[in-house]
Amino acid sequence: MKSATGKIGIWIIGARGGLATTLIAGTHMLARKLVDTSGLITCSAEFSKLKLPQFGRFVFGGHDVRHTPLWESALAIQATTHSFPGESLKAIRSKLKSSDANIRPGMTLNCGPAIQALREPTATLHGKPDGVLRQLRKDLQEFRKQHRLERVFVVNAASTEPPLPRAPFRKSGEGLLQAIKANDKRLRACELYGAAAALECDGIINFTPNEGMLSPAVCGLAEARGVVFMGHDGKTGETLVKSALAPMFRYRNLKILSWLGYNILGDRDGQVLADPLHRASKIRNKDGILQRILGYAPTSIVRIDYVPSLEDNKTAWDFVHFEGFLGHRMSLQFTWAGTDSILAAPLVLDMVRMASLACDRGERGRMEHLSVFFKAPLGVGEDDLHVQFHRLTDYVRSAAAQD
């Protein structure tokens, strides 16, 4: 197995958002050893024998529909959540500025009213889909060439779009490219991003519920080029807890009667999810996991409300009503309070490092061993967090043994 040793590009869709800003700043802090590796799975003991890329090798760029510089985004995050320790933010100011220079205008094609409301016209690509696709590809090509990158991985961290309706062109790569050329009115922004990534990069990680980023058509394009990929919808909060707790009830043969989850969050993510059209995508992934784990469908209610004062923090309160021996009914309640970007950023970095390893090993297509990171893991019918984690560690042991 030959390991890459050069610089690695991480191209983020939604590059000026809270997740992207935390990811970029945090990686530069890790490279300078200003912070420890808490929250990074790939820095735990099970992964110690793998030759994963070091943090100083990463170069960042991306697309966004807003102008706010990364430094200002980082200051805003620090003012509201105090996420960055001590003087670490000042120490990487020049790195944020360098990453800023690599961010290009994004697009909002048919991606829903809440996202349209966030865009800034001068930071947004316009034109027919085939012209937009050419520009997206050009941006990726120039990023690779300018920084002499050995590999480029595209991470979708954009806001949640409404559910993707069915259309014949979404079934094949050729169909998607024809639809783009024909200016099909049903095309979505995430599909153009996905097509550009499949045609120009080495790996794709869809951290959002936007399935068009890795539709069957995009997956077909990616597989044809040997691109590795995985999605959908990063598992960071309430659903992470669900995927750990629901198996416990199944293991003990305790019947869940009802599971109610109430979620409140702020920031742009919450603002977008306040719109019912956008919220439907998120709820579908959060809600479906129970039936897939349990094998039956208890009463399940998931609610998401936008609370501006929470900023990047989110809280979930869950009530689980279950039945035990002699039909006796009991309940479990828990509250999860977390900071969204702090939970999500290390997972993205973990997956990019593992995607690079997959490329080293000559793999292509779905990285099913990364299912533990997602609410709706692509092509994987297993949602039990414990089983998913053991599949990941089995892969890690195998890779270490073959190195």
157 to 143, 146, 210: CA distances (angstroms): 18, 23, 10
Could you tell me where the beta strands, DSSP code E, fall in 158-307?
203-206, 228-231, 255-265, 299-306
pLDDT of residue 4: 64
pLDDT of residue 90: 94
Residue keyed to tokens 């983020």: 12
Q: Which domains can be identified in the chain, with CATH numbers?
A: 8-234+342-402 (3.40.50.720), 238-338 (3.30.360.10)
Q: What is the pLDDT along the chain (403 residues), one digit of tens a residue?
A: 556 679 999 999 999 999 999 999 999 999 999 999 999 999 999 999 999 999 999 999 999 999 999 999 999 999 989 999 888 999 999 999 999 999 999 999 888 877 777 788 777 888 999 999 999 999 999 999 999 999 999 999 998 888 888 899 999 999 999 999 999 999 999 999 999 999 999 999 999 999 999 999 999 999 999 999 999 999 999 999 999 999 999 999 999 999 999 999 888 777 777 767 767 766 776 778 899 999 999 999 989 899 999 888 899 999 999 999 999 999 999 999 999 999 999 999 999 999 999 999 999 999 999 999 999 999 998 999 999 999 999 999 999 998 7
Q: Is 357 within 8 Å of 246 (Cβ atoms)?
A: no
**How far apart (Å, rounded) are the C-alpha atoms in residues 376 and 263?**
18
**How far apart (Å, rounded) are the C-alpha atoms in residues 231 and 250?**
26
pLDDT of residue 124: 87
370 to 132, 153, 345: CA distances (angstroms): 31, 15, 15
Q: In sequence order, which ranges of 228-275 are alpha helices (DSSP H)?
A: 238-251, 267-273
**How far apart (Å, rounded) are the C-alpha atoms in residues 117 and 50?**
44
**Pick from 237, 155, 225, 159: which is nearest to 193 by CA?**
155
